[in-house]
Amino acid sequence: MMSMRLYQAKDYDDMSLKAANILSAQVILKPDCVLGLATGSTPVGIYKKLIEWYKNGAIDFSGVTTINLDEYIGLSRDNINSYQYFMRQNLWDHVNISPENTHIPDGTTGDVKGECLSYERLIARIGGIDMQLLGLGQNGHIGFNEPGTAFDKDTHVTKLSDVTIEANKRFFEREEDVPRSAITMGIKSIMQSRRILVVASGVQKSEIINKAFFGPVTPSLPASVLQLHNDVTLVGDAEALSLI
Ligand code: GLP
């Protein structure tokens, strides 16, 4: 049964502010909560707000644990395009979270299968995810669960679709540099989160947002599975929500 709260924000800044408010409320209500975090351009403004509020004393990350959705295979932690690097740059290095409480798959391991298994065990060990932040890929992927991924998958290795490689090449020098595969939490892992916070900005997300939340639930549009979750909040700006 879909149970979704929908907040329409004016623009990107307003979306970031509203979503950051929701995340910070989670941290204030449960100071030792587990936040599931996401990368991509959409959450950057949210992380900026959280850093600002940490700096002015409004929010404390000392008890918080974070666990990220995904990581490219083959990029080392210091590669500027790795999601590990992204998270340090955009959040972790600027707040009082303990490095040992920040988690992201290791994309350089020789044993990817083992890494996936231990990531699932880790999610269980830290008590599950209280609030998972999610962006949407242009093809409706969540994490790196590309269209066609079974809903019952947990953390696994995935090949990136051509659409995703095309969309993500903007961060790399050359298209050939974009990794072709990644480790991602599965749809099952994501759906086990107690609360889900989806953020979307810009007209290029409007069609996929409309289909994901108001169209049929189908693995060909991974984000549509969120209609089956009982606690989803969608914060979109006017452009992203323009078709609903
Ligand atoms: C990547 C990430 C996703 C993210 C998506 C959208 O592919 N794996 O987690 O949601 O990009 O990114 P953006 O926010 O830049 O549109």
- Ligand 1 atom nearest 160 alpha carbon: 7
User: Cα separation of 111 and 167, whole Å?
Assistant: 28
**Which whole-number Å values give the CA distances from 220 to 26, 184, 185, 204, in the listed order?**
32, 17, 17, 18
- CA-proximal residue: ligand 1, atom 3 (nearest): 143
User: Cα separation of 242 and 236, whole Å?
Assistant: 9
For the record, the structure tokens of 36 come out as 């599931």
70 in active site: yes
**Which whole-number Å values give the CA distances from 89 to 77, 94, 235, in the listed order?**
12, 8, 24
Nearest partner of 176 among 184, 168, 188, 187, judged by Cα = 168
Q: What is the pLDDT along the chain (244 residues), one digit of tens a residue?
A: 567 999 999 999 999 999 999 999 999 999 999 999 999 999 999 999 999 999 999 999 999 999 999 999 999 989 999 999 999 999 999 999 999 999 999 999 999 999 999 999 999 999 999 999 999 999 999 999 999 999 999 999 999 999 999 989 999 999 999 999 999 999 999 999 999 999 999 999 999 999 999 999 999 999 999 999 999 999 999 999 999 9
144 lines ligand 1 (CB under 6 A): yes
| 139, 148 contact by CB (below 8 A) | no
Q: What angle do CA 190, 196, 201 make, to 5 degrees?
A: 110
36 lines ligand 1 (CB under 6 A): no
| Cα-to-centroid distance, 170 and ligand 1 (Å) | 12
Order of strands across the sheet that contains 34-37: 4-9, 232-237, 195-200, 131-134, 34-37, 65-68, 102-103
39 lines ligand 1 (CB under 6 A): yes
Backbone angles phi, psi at 196, to 5 degrees: -125, 135
141 in active site: yes
Nearest partner of 70 among 59, 60, 61, 81, judged by Cα = 81
| Cα-to-centroid distance, 168 and ligand 1 (Å) | 8
User: Model pTM greater than 0.95?
Assistant: yes
204 lines ligand 1 (CB under 6 A): no
139 in active site: yes
Domains (range + CATH), the chain? 4-237 (3.40.50.1360)
| Cα-to-centroid distance, 68 and ligand 1 (Å) | 12
